[in-house]
């Protein structure tokens, strides 16, 4: 995927990423290894392939007993963020949304608009580019739609990375600037398309930046380009 910094809005995107990184680094300042990717040095996540593309909200009925989604399953609705103040609960829901999609039910643009609705309305911390990077491009989406491709996701667990927890315990007050939490989620993405009843599945893991202010429901700040254990 080409760098957004070459576009007219690239400078503001870089600033947003820097502020997002700073918010999390307020908690992780002593952790050089984790800080390296939270500072958002311009490297974005790899654009997913046709069999790894991510995004929408799955339904349990869309998954067969074998773990792969059934090609005859009912088209999925666009993902809606949960109303919660728990960053791990929100992070798990966000990962499910990012790992699922249904080309039979909506367009790529509609999915992007829906996922942008998960982002915090505090523009200095929201990183929509990081969300865009894990959604199939319009060209790829068109090819996937021609085959009726869709994916569902199952989340196994979500947790605060060890380094994040240790830093937060050492200085609890550092979170109060932006209330941005690092949340690592693991699970499985199952993909199916017309003519492939068996489909395919792969394990997934991601680290998300989730903002949960005391007086607001949680919102997504961004998708980190590397995973924090």
Cβ atoms of residues 191 and 201 within 8 Å: yes
Whether the model pTM is above 0.85: no
Given this model, what pLDDT does residue 6 score?
45
Q: Which two tokens stand for residue 148?
A: 């009726």
183, β-bridge pairs? 208
Q: Which two tokens stand for residue 24?
A: 């999390």
Give 10-residue mean pLDDT values along the chain (229 residues): 46 58 48 39 39 37 42 75 98 98 96 98 94 96 96 96 88 89 96 83 96 96 92
H helix intervals, the chain: 10-28, 32-38, 87-98, 108-116, 128-132, 138-146, 162-170
Given this model, what pLDDT does residue 47 score?
40
Given this model, what pLDDT does residue 14 score?
59
206, β-bridge pairs? 185
Given this model, what pLDDT does residue 225 score?
86
d(CA 172, CA 122): 22
Given this model, what pLDDT does residue 197 score?
62
Give φ, ψ of 215 to 5 degrees.
-100, 10
């Amino acid at each position: 995927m080409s760098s957004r910094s070459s576009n007219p809005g690239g400078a503001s995107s870089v600033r947003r990423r820097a502020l997002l990184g700073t918010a999390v680094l307020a908690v992780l300042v002593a952790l050089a290894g984790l800080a390296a990717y939270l500072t958002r040095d311009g490297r974005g996540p790899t654009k997913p392939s046709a069999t790894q593309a991510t995004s929408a909200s799955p339904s349990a009925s869309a998954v067969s007993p074998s773990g792969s989604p059934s090609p005859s399953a009912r088209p999925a609705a666009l993902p809606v963020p949960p109303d919660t103040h728990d960053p791990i609960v929100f992070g798990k829901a966000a990962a499910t949304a990012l790992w699922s999609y249904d080309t039979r039910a909506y367009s790529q643009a509609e999915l992007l608009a829906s996922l942008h609705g998960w982002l915090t309305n505090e523009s200095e911390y929201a990183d929509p580019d990081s969300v865009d990077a894990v959604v199939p491009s319009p060209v790829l989406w068109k090819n996937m739609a021609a085959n009726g491709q869709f994916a569902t996701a199952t989340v196994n667990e979500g947790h605060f990375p060890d380094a994040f927890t240790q830093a937060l315990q050492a200085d609890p007050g550092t979170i109060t600037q932006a209330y941005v939490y690092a949340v690592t989620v693991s699970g499985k993405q199952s993909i199916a398309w017309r003519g492939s009843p068996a489909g395919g599945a792969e394990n997934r893991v991601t680290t998300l930046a989730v903002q949960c202010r005391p007086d607001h429901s949680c919102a997504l700040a961004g998708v980190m380009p590397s995973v924090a254990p």
